[in-house]
Amino acid sequence: MIDSVPTAELLDIINKEDAGVAPAVSTAIGQMAPFLDRLADRVRKGGRLFYIGAGSSGRLGVLDASECPPTFGVSADVVQGIIAGGESALSRATEASEDDPAAGARDLAARGFRREDTLVGIAASGRTPYVIGAIRAARSMGALTAALVCVENSVLAGEAECAIEVPVGPEVVTGSTRMKAGTAAKMVLNMLSTGLMIRLGYTYGNLMVNVQPRNEKLRDRARRIIEESAGMDPDSAAELLDKAGNDVRTAIVMAKKGVTRGEAAKMLESKMGILAEVLNG
């Protein structure tokens, strides 16, 4: 029994269970990849990505969405998280709100969800009414929908157009889906949002070239990215960043192609902002 073993053994049991999460996530890559390609195409055309969930699942969706603007320099509108019970549920549990499917549909409508948007419903059990209601509403509009669940053949997966199933097995503490299921959801959401930003051209190699230098830390990061990408010394990179209007991608094109800021901007626009295509073209 886990509650009767020494502390070191207790932690080892949890750790060994956690070690099985990454292999479980890998089994869902075949489901994630086609969904991600469709998602990226929709976002390029002006669509947005929404996550919706209740409890721990909702908090993980809000967390992943909130990390996209500072990491990749995108508008907060591009990836959004919705949690049952609203913002207060981020820090205070409101489990009752997850039982109302109509509330999921209402919360989605209140955010201005549109046909061209995409909704990922997150529910470890695959049966949360709040999430099912939202998925049904989104699908009735013709939007792309996906279910992120930690079981197979769930109700939610059946309601969504795409299923991302990560069967992590029983939790160390029964029913505590903030553990393995939560870890799995965090990993999948990281993969989806990061993969989306890569496909949208917000990286060059593994560098975050759409970073917005709004403070000294981010300005230093932007300068170092230009240094590495264009082979420049720190002072020259900082000067070029200024000339490029604090746009990292523009600065790199200016350096690598020997063009003006305006010319660099036009070249990026012609390639939908994908730096690799500009530099390799």
Q: Give the residue-averaged pLDDT of 251-256.
A: 95
Same domain for 253 and 142: no
* 209 within a domain of the structure (yes/no): no
164: domain range?
Answer: 2-199
Same domain for 191 and 257: no
Residue of 17, 67, 116, 263 marked catalytic = 67
Same domain for 144 and 11: yes
Same domain for 99 and 48: yes
Output the pLDDT for position 96.
Answer: 58
Same domain for 161 and 225: no
Note the pLDDT tens digit of each residue in 87-131. Answer: 878 877 666 578 899 999 999 999 999 999 999 999 999 999 999
* 210 within a domain of the structure (yes/no): no
Q: Residue 55 sits in a domain of what CATH number?
A: 3.40.50.10490
Note the pLDDT tens digit of each residue in 137-158. Answer: 999 999 999 999 999 999 999 9
Output the pLDDT for position 256.
Answer: 94
* 211 within a domain of the structure (yes/no): no
Instruction: Report the domain count for the chain.
Output: 2
227 catalytic, yes or no? no
Long-range (24+ apart) CB contacts under 8 A made by 142-146 are 142/115, 143/113, 143/114, 143/115, 143/116, 143/117, 143/118, 143/119, 144/35, 144/38, 144/39, 144/42, 144/117, 144/118, 144/119, 145/118, 145/119, 145/120, 145/121, 146/35, 146/118, 146/119, 146/120, 146/121
Last residue of a domain, one of 174, 199, 224: 199
269 catalytic, yes or no? no
Residue of 9, 87, 98, 228 marked catalytic = 98
Note the pLDDT tens digit of each residue in 164-177. Answer: 999 999 888 888 88
